[in-house]
Structure 1
């Protein structure tokens, strides 16, 4: 990835996991850290990552990574948890809202 059009690093990057979830949890995490992106979200709405990331109860999870002293510190949010964004502290979204918004609506 190149972001040559930007004068400063992006403040927030959001990835939604797919079958190649390891790209989001490993490769992109390292890449975004190198680019100096201060906040990175991984939205694992299908809970497809391994248990080493999600824990025993594989449930939809939003991970928020904050770049502190050149390293990402993560926090996991699930269910009715309000997602805490250091970049956008006024944000009022829960994991449940994000996950249900991604599901197709039946009419």
Structure 2
């Protein structure tokens, strides 16, 4: 289970103290420091596969995008900071990010074409809190990759099935499309990307 350290802190305090020398990963959720669970091997295989496929598409299209290792996304209106599983950054806009050089933190939609969260035990954060905050930032595209069908039935159906939920920003609000099995994932950001949930889930050892 995720452990929340209860003392509320400001973003500046958070980045000054964390990450610490314990090797643990933390996020800031409305002022609460949240220790993130160590990911499973399956989770990391899915993350690595997705990062590779997206990077390959960026290279093919000659996009000035890259995937940082530990950058943070800070919503504008609250004391939160997230470390997505896969974060695509638009390099030319980083000169406009006041927190980038010293704190590797971004908060502008123009800097963040895509965020991907691979679902683990804290699935409510991905489907509820992070979806709302990424929408508030104005991130054009947000993928929730639920390879183990951990999310609630109201999000992935009943019976629950491994699902990729793709949130696209339209008129300032997220509209969601969902993909399962051998569906081709339709990404407005990467319209020529040839990728299915089955391929993603099998990367994590989940036959579907």
The normalised TM-score by structure 2 is 0.48
Alpha-carbon distance in structure 2 between the residues aligned to 1:9 and 1:75: 23
- Computing the radius of gyration from Cα coordinates, the structure with the larger value is 2
Alpha-carbon distance in structure 2 between the residues aligned to 1:37 and 1:103: 30
The normalised TM-score by structure 1 is 0.90
* Aligned alpha-carbon RMSD (Å): 1.6
Q: What count of residue pairs does the alignment treat as equivalent?
A: 104
For residues 63-78 of structure 1, the aligned pairs below 5 Å read 63-78=165-180
Counterpart selection for 1:62 from 149, 154, 164: 164
Instruction: Kindly state the Cα deviation for residue 36 of structure 1 after the two structures are TM-superposed.
Output: 1.0
Task: Render the CA deviation track for 1:17-39: whole Å, top value 9, x for unaligned.
Answer: 01110000011101111111000
Instruction: Kindly state the Cα deviation for residue 103 of structure 1 after the two structures are TM-superposed.
Output: 2.1
Moved over 3 A (4+): none
**Which residue matches 1:32?**
134
Alpha-carbon distance in structure 1 between the residues aligned to 2:169 and 2:111: 12
Task: Render the CA deviation track for 1:43-63: whole Å, top value 9, x for unaligned.
Answer: 000001111111112110000
Bigger shift: 4-13 or 54-63?
4-13
Select the structure with the greater relative contact order (CA < 8 A; seq sep ≥ 6).
1
Give the helix-richer structure, 1 or 2: 2
Q: Please, which runs of 5 or more residues in structure 2 have no aligned partner?
A: 1-72, 75-96, 101-105
